[in-house]
Structure formats: structure tokens, C-alpha cells
A and B are shown apart, each in its own frame.
Chain A
């Protein structure tokens, strides 16, 4: 069975550019989480969806960040405009409601 699939694995961009990260959930899972990992702040939960509906976006750092689930199996995280302090590894994770998390391999973002 395919796991959580993220793309791109690596992204290097310049400050001010738009960045879109993508995530495909495991088939049958109905919960989706976006996390950000940095050395300084560890793992931070950015946003959580259940059944395609955003439940908690209190971790989204600023209005420059937005996330969508256009269907039950796919999500995007967009940063516009990007800044150097957004450099991090972004993970998405899926689960059945209340179950264990299954993480993707992450998207490493570098903003110059």
C-alpha cells in the first residue's frame, strides 16, 4: 500500500516567491495534518483537517500561509510570499480519526 506522498521533496526559492507543497493521503484516511519541523522549534502543528474540513488552523503562523483540501485524498499548503524564516521541513500526516499518524517523507523548503 502506498504511504503518504509529498511533493516536492526539495524546494529552493527566493524570498517573495509563492511556494506550493502537495500531499496525497493514504487511501481511506479521513484526517490530515500539516507539520513544520525546524531545529529551533521542533515539530509544530500548522493545521488539521477532518473529512476535508479545517478543524484547527491556530498553528498557521501568518496570513501568508494557507492550506486546502480540494478532495478527500489531496491537500496543498501554500506560502505567499515566502520569507527566509519559512525555511523548514514540512510534513503532512494522515490518519483515521483518532488513530495513529502516518507521515510523509517531508518537503524541505529553503527560501533564499
Chain B
């Protein structure tokens, strides 16, 4: 079945460091891909998305490119801030399907 695998955390970075969180997926068909972020004590919220191969989603300085050949959707940010400390979830949803499949989440700590 469809699945999402993302790198285990926690990831600890200093402020202004470069961030990469790896995500790979297995899916039948042509899924849409998402990154959701969960700040402490809150629900998940959509960070960015891409709906077809080679699309780049971006928001708040974060980017991810839909790579069909490597079945990947890695999250990147050039310079992280303390306020980016959160749990990041990679997810997919197949076209016409209702279920969003989430990865296990990667916790990010950013130190001042």
C-alpha cells in the first residue's frame, strides 16, 4: 500500500543553519505530496504542497520539489530560525482518493 518514510529525528540545528528533512514515498498512481508542520500544543497545518512531478512547493522560506524519478519530496530551508522548531510531517494523497497518508514526523529543534 501507499506509504511515506521520513528521516528520524530529532534534528538539532543552530539558528541560520541549512535544513534538509528527507522524505520518500511509495504510491500507486500519481499522488499529491505535502509537508505539514505541528507547533507545540497545536494541530497540524499545511506548510506546502506539490501536485505533479517537478513541481516545487514553497512557503515561509521552506521548499520541496516533487521528484518522481527518486520518489522523493525533501524539505529544505536555507536559514532556520528558533521559531521553526516544530514537528514536520511529509504526506501524500492519491488523486481521487480521500485518505492522506502521513509519515512518522521529524522533530526539529533550533538553538539560538
Stretch at the interface among A12-20, A43-51, A79-87: A43-51
Are the C-beta atoms of B104 and A48 separated by less than 8 Å? no
B99 contact from A45, A91, A100, Cβ within 8 A: A45
Distance, CA A33 to CA B43, complexed state (A): 13
The verdict on A43 contacting B89 (CB below 8 Å), with A55-B98, A56-B99 known, is yes
Q: Among the listed stretches A61-69, A70-78, A102-110, which one makes contact with chain B, having 4 or more residues with CB under 8 Å of it?
A: A102-110
A103 and B98 within 8 A (CB): no
Taking A43-B102, A106-B42 as known contacts, 17 extra A-B pairs with beta carbons closer than 8 A to each other, sorted by chain A number, are: A4-B43, A33-B100, A42-B104, A43-B89, A45-B99, A48-B98, A50-B98, A91-B43, A97-B98, A98-B96, A98-B98, A100-B46, A101-B44, A101-B46, A102-B45, A103-B44, A103-B45
Residue numbers in A under 8 Å from B29 (CB-CB)? none
- Knowing A42-B105, A43-B89, A100-B49, the reply to whether A105 touches B100 (Cβ < 8 A) is no
Tell me, in angstroms, the Cα distance from A91 to B89 when the chains sit together.
15
Closest CB of chain A to B102's CB: distance in Å? 5
Residues of A whose CB lies within 8 Å of any CB of B are: 4, 31, 33, 42-43, 45, 48, 50, 55-56, 91, 93, 97-98, 100-106
Give the shortest distance, in Å, between B108 (CB) and chain A (any CB). 16
Q: Residue on A with the closest CB to B102?
A: A43
B61 at the interface (CB under 8 A from A): no
Asked if B43 and A103 make an inter-chain contact with CB atoms under 8 angstroms apart, the answer reads yes
Q: Which residue of A lies closest to B34 (CB)?
A: A100
B46, A91: Cβ atoms closer than 8 Å: no
- Bound complex: CA of A87 vs CA of B54, how far in Å? 41
